[in-house]
């Protein structure tokens, strides 16, 4: 039997190579699709867990707020006002007793950058009954004031520090070019905070 094959009209095709090439590409795309699908599902599950934790935290905060409102309402009753006022007085007294001007100046000296100096400090109690400092510093550069805020934030004695106001002092010969009003919560040093170190030093001296 004789077969006539015209290669001009029926070109030769290597089907095995074709399927190997495209089969590998399809397998790779399928693998990438599975990886992406796994990442999407994992992200969704993680987000779901995070949302659940956020809802729990919000619920706890709401419960604490309700307890706070109830406690304030109880303290604001006429029969409890004397106890509330006495409690506030004692808290203020304890805060004032823990406040030390010498310690504050020492703590400020540790964080004060060059070309910046202290103008004034005013301690007061904020709305949360926390000791707060209103600090005025003067100098010739805003960068130094920002550096001071960063140093205070990394210190153990200052919290929630920010620049409240910036006042230009133009026209004053020999004075500051600009003054900055800085607000910061202050954490006084505990009375016995340095006692262990001093005790250890005394022991070494006794030896």
CA 20 – CA 62 distance, rounded (Å): 62
Structure tokens at 201: 């030093």
Query: What strand order describes the sheet that includes 116-125?
Result: 116-125, 131-139, 178-186, 158-168
CATH level 3 topology of 100-186: Gyrase A; domain 2 (3.30.1360)
pLDDT tens-digit profile of 182-202?
A: 999 888 765 555 544 444 434
- What residue segments make up the domains of the chain, in order of their start? 15-75, 100-186
| Residue 79 φ/ψ region, left for φ over 0, alpha for ψ in the -120 to 50 degree band, beta for the rest | alpha
Q: pTM above 0.85?
A: no
pLDDT for residue 81: 65
Return the SS3 of 71: helix
pLDDT at position 11 is 55
Residue 75 tokens, joined: 């303290």
136, burial (CB in 10 Å: exposed 0-12, middle 13-18, buried 19+): middle
pLDDT of residue 206: 44
pLDDT of residue 202: 44
Instruction: Enumerate residue ranges in the chain where pLDDT < 70.
Output: 1-19, 75, 79-81, 83-98, 129, 170-175, 189-207
């Amino acid at each position: 039997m004789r077969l006539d094959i015209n290669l001009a009209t029926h070109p030769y095709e290597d089907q095995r190579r074709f399927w190997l090439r495209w089969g590998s590409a399809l397998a790779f795309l399928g693998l990438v699709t599975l990886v992406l699908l796994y990442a999407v599902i994992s992200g969704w599950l993680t987000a779901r867990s995070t949302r659940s934790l956020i809802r729990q935290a919000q619920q706890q905060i709401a419960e604490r707020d309700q307890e706070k409102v109830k406690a304030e309402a109880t303290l604001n009753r006429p029969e409890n006002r004397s106890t509330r006022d006495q409690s506030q007085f004692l808290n203020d007294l304890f805060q004032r007793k823990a406040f030390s001007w010498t310690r504050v100046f020492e703590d400020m000296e540790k964080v004060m950058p060059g070309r910046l100096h202290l103008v004034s400090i005013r301690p007061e109690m904020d709305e949360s009954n926390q000791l707060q400092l209103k600090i005025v510093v003067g100098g010739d550069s805003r960068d130094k004031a920002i550096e001071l805020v960063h140093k205070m934030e990394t210190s153990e004695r200052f919290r929630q520090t920010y620049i409240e106001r910036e006042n230009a002092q133009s026209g004053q010969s020999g004075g500051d070019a600009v003054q900055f009003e800085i607000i910061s919560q202050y954490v006084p040093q505990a009375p016995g905070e340095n006692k262990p170190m001093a005790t250890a030093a005394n022991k070494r001296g006794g030896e």
